[in-house]
Amino acid sequence: MTTKRATSENDPAVIPTSPARRVPGRIEGWVSATGTNRLRSIGLGTRFSLAATILLLAALGIAVAIIDWRSAIIAQQTIRGDLDRAAPIFRSYLSDLEMRLADQVHSLAGEPGTKAIFDPSVNVSTRHEFALDSVQVLAGAKTVFLFGPDAASLARSDRAEGEGVGQQFGGVAWVSEPLRTWHESTAVILEGNVLSVVAATPVVSGAGEMAHLDGVLAASFALEKRQAAALQGLTRGDIAFLVNRARRGSSPEVAVSVATGLLEAQDFARTFASVDGAVEGVFENAESFGPFEVTHAGDRLIGMAVPIQSAAGEPYGAFVVARSMAQELAAFRQIRRTLFVVGGLAILVAAPVSFLLGRRLARPLQQLAIGAGRIREGELEFPLPERAGGEIGALARAFRGMVTELKEKRALERMLVPLGRASTTNAATQVPLSEHAGRPVFQQDATVANRYRVRSVLGAGAMGTVFLADDLELEEEVALKVLSSHALGPGTSSMQSVKIEIRTARKISHPNVVRVHDLGEAQGVYFLTMEYVPGMTLRDVIEKRGALALGPGLQIAKQLCRGLAAVHDAGIIHRDIKPQNIMVLPNGTVKLMDFGIAKSERIADPLLREGALVGTPSYMSPEQVRCEPLDARSDLYAVGAVMFEMFTGSPPFSGTPRDVLDAHLHQDPPAPASLRPDLPDTLDRLIVGSMSKRPDRRPASAQDLYAALLRIHLAE
């Protein structure tokens, strides 16, 4: 039952008692209640101007505070995020550098002249000259080494002729590995205070079974400013290569080999050593260290250190990348300065402008406030601002549009209520209660399952008859659908399937779906109880109105898609989308109903196993006609057929049921625009696409179809 609040002039709740206490919410009552003289001593324009100025000042202060706070957080997060990638970037760069240098050395090792220099008959002087010349040949090389097949030194460019010849390097991994595997080897070595990448390649003479190892050619390439600059670009930070100058077994003695940017200033090695745990972590434990914060050259830095190890795993040095907080915050500080300037100018301009605007706003706002009070009282006839411009004009136009909508909605409700009653009355009087289409039904006023009292027949379909009944326990109206005995029976697989579907359907709670309550049995007849929706079916609307206007038709289609999306989200395929199963309520709400032949996507359909054809021919998808397994796109085909009929006044195919089913299988529907030229092209294509014979060419889901409908703009 619905209780209506009285709104007449005799209602004591709304009787005006004095000019100072008229209907709450009206401006004149509010002004009188708070003191007219006191409020009007400062005009609305002045109050508006002061409020705007205070708000601007507060907003400016809050904005600056938030910018300072957030900029510091963002800067730290950005730097730390970039530093987390520093180690992989360095290792990737070093690996690429080693590969390129190995290719250079390998190319030189393959030349006949190089192979000849390893002949035992070649003297020390010639080999030394070859080493010196190779430094020029290998671009960027620092030192060239020659080793015999026994790992003994033959020559090196950084020593005098004959110095170190015969010295054994068998314990050095980058020398022994090429001799053992006949493959290139690379490593990082320390040459004085300089970190270098050394590439060693075997020198092999002959081919196939005649091939023999002559020795090893190696060259070192210092990590210099050029490499540091390249890494600076990759990491967006300043770079330093640190080395350990201490003798093996002694405490680390850190020195800068190469540095860029801020790390060149002062002695960064000393700054790094001052960070607790930095030297021990990198040079003793060979572990990455950071992110760490340190002050260097008067700037706050956030850095990361990555150990650089020899082939044997000994930490020779460290790759350090650091970012300046001052540089990172520079852009934010520029924004803050700009904000101060713009905010100050805005305040200077806003004060007089807001005063003028306040004066212009006063009367239109008062009219709108009075109008809001009238709407609350149920009145829709009152004056509105006519010549207001700017935002107030837009507000007035929006307000006027809202009032127009309310008037149209009221008129629509008045039109639909008698039509809905007539439809219900006709259904009850024209269909005998004792029998419908050869099916036994409950008698009028009969009590079903000791709970439901039958009032009238609402309609019937292939799967059963629908009654209007009273739920005696909850004291509300429900729709009671008696399921056809030819489709369902006790203990059959169909009955078990329906029980599962009802359990799932009961979970659907959506404003555009008729709620299914329960499944029951009485006198050997199975029935469903559902939410009773007093209104007209879309079939009634189309029969009475013909092709619908674009706006109402789109609104119905959108609400149908929203409801269908909720059904599909619950894992249910409706299988019987048609105008008869779509209710249009007097308030304009659209509800999808009748889950009599709905099925779960996750459960095999017994009707398909039995070869039964389920659905309504005019709206069945090709796969439904072929009794194939269905998914949500089958329902979207039916939605396309319903939209076709809504906007053209007739279904896409006509003829006998057999002709219609055959057309769904083999014929393309006519373009709706050919029957209704004013239909937008996008809507025409959407309807045709929804009715594609191939499911993969239809919209993927009801939500996608709804989104496509939202993008359709009607021509003004």
Helices within 377-459 (DSSP H only)? 390-430
What b-and-e string marks burial along 94-123, b requiring 16 or more CB atoms within 10 Å of the CB? beebbeebbebbbebbeeeebbebbeeeee
For 469, phi then psi, to 5°, come to -140, 160
Contact 117, 229 (CB under 8 A): no
Would you report the helix, strand and coil content of the chain in percent, each value rounded to 5? Answer: 50, 20, 30
- One-letter amino acid for residue 466 of the chain: V
Residue 605 among the catalytic residues: no
| Interatomic CA distance for residues 447 and 454, integer angstroms | 6
Tell me how far apart the alpha carbons of residues 513 and 562 are, in angstroms, rounded to a whole number: 9
Tokens of 210: 């005649």
Q: Write the CA distances from 563 to 9, 139, 426, 567, 637, integer angstroms.
A: 42, 72, 28, 6, 15
Residue type at position 41: S
CA distance 392 to 518: 53
Q: For residue 535, which of 559, 551, 519 has the smallest C-alpha distance?
A: 559
Q: Is the dihedral of CA 706, 711, 714, 716 positive or negative?
A: positive
Give the three-class secondary structure for 235. helix
CA distance 596 to 580: 13
| HEC profile of 271-317 | HHHCCCCHHHHHHHCCCCEEEEEEEECCEEEEEEEEEEECCCCCEEE
Phi, psi (degrees; rounded to nearest 5) at 200: -120, 140
Q: How far apart are CA 461 and CA 426, in angstroms?
A: 16
Q: Which residues sit opposite 401 in a β-bridge? A: none
Name the residue with tokens 């007097």.
Answer: 586
Question: Of 497, 502, 496, which is closest to residue 481 (Cα–Cα)?
Answer: 502
**Residue of 441, 434, 447, 443 lying closest to 464 (CA atoms):** 441
Q: Which of 214, 238, 576, 635 is catalytic?
A: 576
Residues with catalytic function: 576
